Chain A
Amino acid sequence: MIPGISITEILTLTSILFFIGVYGFLTRKNLISILISIELILNASVINFVVINKYLYPDVLQGVVYSIFIIAVAAAETSLAISIIINLYRQIGSVEVKDTETMKY
């Protein structure tokens, strides 16, 4: 609980953060940038968990514990994604999204 700041303001912040992530995910041409955007989306939700826990249910800890879980899973997921991207780079020598559409139709 931060004095002087209401829950609405923080949720507005996380919403902005979330949609920045979405925008980045949809528009970036580089796979690494897309991965970073995903991290933004995840972090926005993690902040949401913590804030809602702190402001609405101050005497329990589920939201905080959950956010730690999400950070752990996100780390694993990022490492997986990075390894896929590295393999992709070895195969086609590029990490551009436009070069990875051979699976269409």
Chain B
Amino acid sequence: MNLSYILLIPLIPLALFLVLGIFNKKIKPAVSGYMGVSGLAISTILSFYTAYEYFFVQGKINGAYQTFVEKMVWMNFTDTLHIDLGILIDPISVMMLIVISTVSLMVHIYSRGYMKGDEGYTKFFAFLGLFAFSMYGLVLATNLFQIYIFWELVGISSYLLIGYYYTKTKAVAAAKKAFIVTRFADFGFLIGILIISFHTGTFDFETLNNPEGSAILNWASSSFMGLSAITWALILIFIGGAGKSAMFPLHIWLPDAMEGPTPVSALIHAATMVVAGVYLVARLFPMYYLVEEGFALRIVAYVGAFSSLFAAIIAITQTDIKRVLAFSTMSQLGYMMMALGVSGFDGHEGVGYMASMFHLFTHAMFKALLFMGAGSVIHAVHSNYLKDMGGLRKYMPITNITFLIAALAIAGIPPLAGFWSKDEILVATFENNLFIYGIAVFVAGLTAFYMFRLYFGIFWGKETNYINAPHESPFSMTLPLIILAVLSVGVGFIPFSEFVTADKIGFEAHLNYPLAAIAVGFGLIGLLLAWVFYKKENDLANRFANAFGVLYLWARDKFYVDELYLFITRKLIFKRISAPIAFFDKKYVDGTMEGIGNKTVVISQKIKALQSGKVQDYAFGFMGGAVVLALVFIYLWTN
């Protein structure tokens, strides 16, 4: 398979970034918008062509999809340990190419409408280009170090885009928070990489993931605190992934990241960057599964399950529509992690892996759609809060329909995309771990409830008296909505298990009717509850919330995780550790140095009068000195 044209997929956005970034002021907004869209369109076409070439022209050889790698040595340490740069083509990277390019293209088209008239229009497209480049690089990486480089690059482009409205204090704070929290997580990732390379002597995915390879077979050779060192490394790498994918307790940056422009939320914080953590675990899946009987993988499963439940509960109580979507994203990411965590490896046992990737794929489509719909609504009413909305279905028919489709899709109502992928996840959890299955089904119900709470709250409910009558968004914004709505309906019918599986062989997935019925039942219950509570204006919802009392308050305040972080950092680390050290440094270390300086100044003030500027005073001093020396010499001589 000729891979050279695949190199163009990341390089076109990079070129866009450089051109738009360097000639920022010289390019007219209209031109930069077209440049961004057309560049991404080429990338998208190439991505689809790659997928076609990979899955249908190359196809399976000996019953399994091949892995194609093209790389060059970038940094050479030893014969085996070197950092390469290159591209790796296998089912999940091809799938990610499709996801990134599709959502990216939609966001570019959408941004032309959404960001119209903004001062930094060209800059915005430049940043989007940088992000697309980094994300492509991340999924195409051939080794741990390359993925780490691009991992940081997506982090920085996410930082730039969250803080895009840099005059807003909240946006700047959110950007910093996102950067610092993920940076802490990435520190774990880096240590994990170093441990793995120390014990296996390689960064390369193919060598690491080879089930017959030394990295996996020799995991027991080194141990640390009762676990294999490799397991520790995998847990640390998962911490990096958890930071990017907003898993509990590193999720605190994601809701705040909603301060960025809505297209950015759709692209980075819903569809692409936040799934990087899931992708990372999937990329190292054979290691996770085979090292120490999948100990690290079980951690992934439980963290994922807990995060998905935790986020779903918070999502119910939020009033900022973008935050509801942010917590919903976190919940769905937890779903994906959970599915990966319970997955097996061969054949039908690998259904969790397949389901996770499938859900990643479908979720990218409908969650991007939800965010863009929310952006369209915010564009119309100029507010993020549910209380400023209501009855919008009359004013915004296209947004209404597309949002409804996306909400149905995420709620798992057949035959929309979310139903199929969610069903596979439930099958995987049911076959593996009934406890997690219970959580998953409950979360499915909650998901339907909060999505329809949002939907009814925005498009139905009481009529708000709008000062300016809201109107449907321009065509450049509704077009991506329509395309994504079509995708949200359609992508569920892709026979995903034929294409993307852990063992790359594929199997035939069947709909498990009883499980599907239970999931849909829970979804419908959630939907109906939302219908009863929010379709018409009534105080049932408030009465219900009051019935939960303090639990409701806790959930509304996000279970005080932010406050806990602030407590630990400000009250414990800053006050108990940093402050005494700073005090010692300021008082004693700086004090000594400053004291020496100050004393010098004081003394010189006192003796500076000696320098009178009169030649004769100096001569007198000289004479006096000479006389004294003479006397001393004479005295010494004569004794």
B615 touches A100 (CB 8 A): yes
Which B residues touch A102, using CB under 8 A? 613
State in angstroms the CA–CA spacing of A100 and B615 once bound together. Answer: 9
Number of interface residues of B (CB under 8 A): 10
Chain A residues with Cβ under 8 A from B615's Cβ? 34, 97, 100
Bound form: Cα–Cα A9–B619 in Å: 28
B608 to chain A: which residues have CB within 8 Å? 105
* B221 contacts partner chain A, Cβ-Cβ < 8 Å: no
B614 at the interface (CB under 8 A from A): yes
Chain A CB within 8 A of B612 CB: yes
- B616, CB-defined interface residue at 8 Å: yes
In the complex, the number of residue pairs spanning A and B with C-beta atoms less than 8 Å apart equals 29
Whether a CB of chain B sits under 8 angstroms from the CB of A90 is no
In the assembled complex, the Cα of A34 lies from the Cα of B611 at a distance in Å of 20
CB pair B613–A26 under 8 Å, yes or no, is no
- Cα A94 to Cα B619 in complex, Å, equals 21
Q: Which of A13-48 contact B (CB under 8 A)?
A: 22, 25-27, 34
Q: Is the CB of A25 within 8 A of B619?
A: yes
> Which residue on chain B has the smallest CB distance to residue A98?
B614
B612 A26 Cβ-Cβ under 8 A:
no
* C-alpha gap A101/B615 in the complex (Å): 8
B224 located at the interface, meaning its Cβ lies under 8 Å from any Cβ of chain A in the complex: no
**A104: which B residues are within 8 A, CB to CB?**
611-614
Residue of B nearest to A29 (CB): B616
With a cutoff of 8 Å between Cβ atoms, the chain A residues found around residue B620 in the complex are: 26
Distance from B88 Cβ to chain A, minimum over Cβ atoms (Å): 73
Known: A22-B623, A26-B623. Contact between A103 and B616, CB under 8 A?
A: no
A101–B611 CA distance with the chains assembled, in angstroms: 10
- Nearest neighbor of B604 in chain A, beta-carbon distance: A105
What's the Cα separation between A97 and B608 when bound, in Å?
A: 20
Please determine whether A97 and B614 come into contact, CB atoms closer than 8 angstroms: yes
Residues of B581-626 whose CB lies within 8 A of A: 608, 611-616, 619-620, 623
- What A residues does B611 contact at CB under 8 A? 104-105
A22 to B620, CA, bound (A): 9
User: A104 vs B613: C-alpha distance in the bound complex, in angstroms?
Assistant: 4
A51 to B329, CA, bound (A): 108
Chain B residues, Cβ within 8 Å of A97: 614-616
Which residues of B are found within 8 Å of A25, using beta-carbon distances? 616, 619
Closest A-B pairs by Cβ, 8 of them: A104-B613, A101-B613, A103-B613, A101-B614, A26-B616, A105-B608, A104-B611, A104-B612
User: Which residues of A are at the interface with B, using a C-beta cutoff of 8 A?
Assistant: 22, 25-27, 34, 97-98, 100-105
Listed by A's residue number, 8 A-B pairs whose Cβ atoms lie within 8 Å are A26-B620, A27-B616, A97-B616, A100-B613, A100-B614, A101-B614, A103-B613, A105-B611
Besides A101-B614, A104-B611, 20 new A-B residue pairs in contact (Cβ under 8 A), listed by A number: A22-B623, A25-B616, A25-B619, A26-B619, A26-B620, A26-B623, A27-B616, A34-B616, A97-B615, A97-B616, A98-B614, A100-B613, A100-B615, A101-B613, A102-B613, A103-B613, A104-B612, A105-B608, A105-B611, A105-B613
